[in-house]
Structure 1
């Protein structure tokens, strides 16, 4: 794994050579003959920066692996210790979340983006290159994990010695298992007072069918037995399989953009050779790019001389924008926070939706759309029921692991979200694993928060795609003084339309600022109004200075006031504040 910089992607010719297993000469020496080296030697970060020679790593001395775990089980802490143990960084008391470089990661104390580092480790007279990817643990960032695993041959599956197996632990294991990667179970936090590593060993053996004697018990915080993890990486994870003589074939598993340097891509090379200045082609877009710079992450960028979908959208109310794919409310909030912190950009978040499908009913429509089954991303484009034979909504298979005392409450929550129970397994004496089939729209916003609240924070949740199923769906419009607000148009299940529409109208009534004219807030399905609220206009007593006098004059003043408000209601614009969209967003999922 390495970093490529420029208006495209590339890798150093030398890196390509040691990824292909070409004969590159003897192992590197650092001031002493190989025979005099100890079994394993630790170098300082400064020494590596001086002596680094990337051209001498044969493929059999390379290991590509990720650290995966449930949130807060100690992935980043283990990564810190591995960086220290291999001399990648100097050992200090301030080494906490070294690979978590984003400000939002530091503030929230979680990893939201996979981070890569190349480690150099000398063991038994051989110098190894260990390419590490530290991945997020929260379910909202599971796509980061799946992308990272595609560039690896093995994983360190970290499990808390106190908490044991959680939902994301199960999900990450099966991601690695389906990718046919080597899995090394690591039981962390054995220094805790309530740690029970033997119980966790039994869980791992029962759930994952991994012998308990293959588990490595460590304390990443104290550094206890962490060196055994490096030994296991070398012994249990195979080197990558590459072919230097074949045409170039590389995988981009991560990328960032620098306004001065262009695209910075992290790639894993599978075949071929490429170097600085080469022209490379994207297999998907067929566009050509030039490689301007190449190097590795150690963990910061170190140059070497040799080696989710976005839809453009716009609206009259908000202007130009994009529809982005998020995996949950936390994912969306972190993305928004990064835009504000890193680009000083102020954005408006609108009501989220999921991609629905519609099966068209007439041959005329099929000819117009050029396909019988269409996908709807924008709810405003949701076709009328008269044009389709059925609607389809995306569903996911969710896994919940919880203490058995919360099972009843959680089952009620799942049923309220239209979930269908598929399985229920007791993984030990106190904990239950539940599997439910959920409509994606029911969990995408705040299901995780509701689950944590019901279980006092002990339950964990993960989900995977399960295709589409038939559903009774309707498009619900939100109107302000008779005008549809496109950003608030949403697709809901028919049985929940009235309650959701009423809740949205109530929230908007509390959020919209009062005007000089009355604002009518309505929820509608087609031409039928299913809910309504009214924001009263500011009152002005036009008769305040009329003491006595002709009653006819007073009537004229009142009539003129009424006509003015009626005119304002026709031409006045209702501004929807940013926080109103957030409140409506949270309203939908709570019903």
Structure 2
């Protein structure tokens, strides 16, 4: 055990984690030059295309120094704020972390929040200054930022470059000397924590775990403590570039287990594995249940595909345990699921993965957050409202509370004005403003979660020319003056387009949606009114004109009454048509509502 080191890599998005992980794999001979490709640990096409890490990846490396053999277990983690749950799980399975900071960009918001996560778990931090080969690198300035942030010695910061391989040997030496070996009782009862799982169509569910105490042998009967289910360990082993079977996995090691489990609900991340004959007394203190922040409906384009969509979502949930969903139905879209996501990028990735990995084309409704509603009848009893259509009658509502977040934005000082204007526009209240260096400012805001759901991140990037980084965490609920905005097409409500908005924004948003729908809904044989209303009060209206046949074309001259008679007859027909006519809302219309500010 004294020669095992478990560590993860934490950094902001695009600071070069995956590239540096590639260099570590090459330096330890885990991957041959022939098999080497960029982002070697990122196995999904989506990750390569976007250049981001979506899933944490565990891999074992063998390293020899001064005649002693060491086992290094590395977990490469995502850098985007929407995948911070993956990071928290990886941190729980490690004793140390490599904190990577881009020498040209300096410390960003996500770096700070991931660092605090690591410090809460008492991890040993090794600071690394990456991308030293770039002409825009500012090593002295960024080293000062790191020293100020974690209180280390400037000599502890290792200069490195993932591209050229500079500093890789120093990093490996620091991992051996600074990160402590795992603690645990090798002779005690087995206690292992599941930190991830994947689904294999041939083998069933493969769970990844870290052994805290005891050891796991092949063929042993095992017990899952939280669910109380027991299985046989058909195959166990360690994670190299491909899984490698072993007969025994010992304390401190990270490995995988295949036990023929087919049902996704039976393996929960944070679960404790122990032996059936000699179980451990306590479960490993896992990570808290994930709290989804953004909710949206996902519906199959063809209603017959509902069961197939359920199957696909369950398989995806195994691979991404932060996805939460439950069945729901909508008058406009039929049967589907109400899904909870950690953020907008997470929602986009899930939609894309459903299309790629399961060939499911889906319709996504307008995303929103969950609210608490109190009625006049019983003001102490709160109702959770995930969907605007679940809101009780407005006349019975006492108050509505919405979730608030504490948002940290780190940007260059020249963009402070634009960032503040954007945050105030989104109903944010300035809490704090700190100058990290002469030209880097950290601004802290308290703002409603609902305001960042739409287009906040995109607009933040555009007002700061890409220089602002953003991180947030929930701070509870607060009462607000919210109203339900309904969209009516031909006097029929479209429940998929309803939204809960602040009263001050309702008129402007209603007007925008009506204008957008007027552009996107094809013209019919009858006139279609598009209305935005709050309760019974219509606050905005647009009209799609009818397609008209020229019925008077055959009248050459003659009395005006002949023409009038024909026009009246047409008018009657249009009126009848409008009563029975149904207006189909195209898929682009649902998506366009999300991008109103473009």
* TM-score class, shorter: 0.7 to 0.9
* Cα-to-partner distance string for 1:298-351 (whole Å, 9 max, x where unaligned): 123333344322122222322222222223332222222222222221111110
Higher relative contact order (CA 8 A, sep 6+): 1
How many Å separate the matches in 2 of 1:337 and 1:349? 11
Find the partner of 1:356 among 343, 346, 371. 371
**What is the correspondence of 1:318-329 to structure 2 with a 5 Å cutoff?**
318-329=333-344
Structure 1 residue 139 and structure 2 residue 148: aligned?
A: no
After superposition, the Cα gap between the structure-2 partners of 1:377 and 1:205, relative to the gap in structure 1 and judged at 3 Å, is: same
Q: Residue 165 of structure 1: CA displacement?
A: 0.6
Contact 2:432 2:443 in 1 (8 A): yes
Moved more, 380-389 or 537-546: 380-389
How many Å separate the matches in 2 of 1:416 and 1:404? 19
Structure 1 residue 239 and structure 2 residue 248: aligned?
A: no
Structure 1 residue 530 and structure 2 residue 545: aligned?
A: no
Find the partner of 1:411 among 420, 424, 431. 420
How many Å separate the matches in 1 of 2:459 and 2:60? 39
How many Å separate the matches in 1 of 2:567 and 2:471? 62
How many Å separate the matches in 2 of 1:198 and 1:93? 37
How many Å separate the matches in 2 of 1:503 and 1:283? 53
Contact 1:401 1:460 in 2 (8 A): yes
| Helix, strand or coil at the partner of 2:552 | coil
Find the partner of 1:395 among 373, 396, 404. 404
Match of 1:424 in 2: 433
Match of 1:161 in 2: 103
Structure 1 residue 223 and structure 2 residue 165: aligned?
A: yes
Structure 1 residue 465 and structure 2 residue 474: aligned?
A: yes
Moved more, 297-306 or 82-91: 297-306
How many Å separate the matches in 2 of 1:93 and 1:162? 30
Moved more, 204-213 or 383-392: 383-392
After superposition, the Cα gap between the structure-2 partners of 1:318 and 1:238, relative to the gap in structure 1 and judged at 3 Å, is: same
Find the partner of 2:585 among 563, 576, 579. 576
After superposition, the Cα gap between the structure-2 partners of 1:230 and 1:554, relative to the gap in structure 1 and judged at 3 Å, is: same
How many residue pairs get matched? 525
How many Å separate the matches in 2 of 1:562 and 1:466? 57
| Helix, strand or coil at the partner of 1:60 | coil
Find the partner of 2:129 among 171, 187, 201. 187
Q: Residue 220 of structure 1: CA displacement?
A: 1.4
In angstroms, what is the RMSD of aligned CA positions? 2.3
Contact 2:196 2:209 in 1 (8 A): yes
After superposition, the Cα gap between the structure-2 partners of 1:273 and 1:322, relative to the gap in structure 1 and judged at 3 Å, is: farther
How many Å separate the matches in 1 of 2:190 and 2:382? 37
Contact 2:394 2:535 in 1 (8 A): no
Structure 2: any 5+ residue segments left out of the alignment? 250-321
Match of 1:39 in 2: none
| Helix, strand or coil at the partner of 1:543 | helix
How many Å separate the matches in 1 of 2:387 and 2:189? 41
How many Å separate the matches in 2 of 1:575 and 1:303? 55
Find the partner of 1:123 among 65, 79, 103. 65
How many Å separate the matches in 1 of 2:401 and 2:52? 35
| Helix, strand or coil at the partner of 1:194 | coil
After superposition, the Cα gap between the structure-2 partners of 1:249 and 1:99, relative to the gap in structure 1 and judged at 3 Å, is: same
Find the partner of 1:317 among 328, 332, 337. 332
After superposition, the Cα gap between the structure-2 partners of 1:288 and 1:92, relative to the gap in structure 1 and judged at 3 Å, is: same
After superposition, the Cα gap between the structure-2 partners of 1:478 and 1:156, relative to the gap in structure 1 and judged at 3 Å, is: same
Contact 1:116 1:299 in 2 (8 A): no
| Helix, strand or coil at the partner of 1:325 | strand
Match of 2:282 in 1: none
| Helix, strand or coil at the partner of 2:595 | helix
The two structures have a TM-score, normalised by structure 2, of: 0.83
Q: Residue 478 of structure 1: CA displacement?
A: 1.3
Match of 1:521 in 2: 530
**What is the correspondence of 1:529-548 to structure 2 with a 5 Å cutoff?**
529-548=538-557
| Helix, strand or coil at the partner of 2:336 | strand
Q: Residue 279 of structure 1: CA displacement?
A: 5.5
Match of 1:204 in 2: 146
Structure 1: any 5+ residue segments left out of the alignment? 1-58, 367-371
After superposition, the Cα gap between the structure-2 partners of 1:95 and 1:442, relative to the gap in structure 1 and judged at 3 Å, is: same
Find the partner of 1:253 among 190, 195, 198. 195
Q: Residue 559 of structure 1: CA displacement?
A: 3.2
Contact 1:350 1:585 in 2 (8 A): no
Find the partner of 1:214 among 144, 153, 156. 156
Moved more, 563-572 or 496-505: 563-572
* Cα-to-partner distance string for 1:342-375 (whole Å, 9 max, x where unaligned): 2221111110011111234434x87xxxxx2232
| Helix, strand or coil at the partner of 1:507 | helix
Match of 2:288 in 1: none
Match of 1:492 in 2: 501
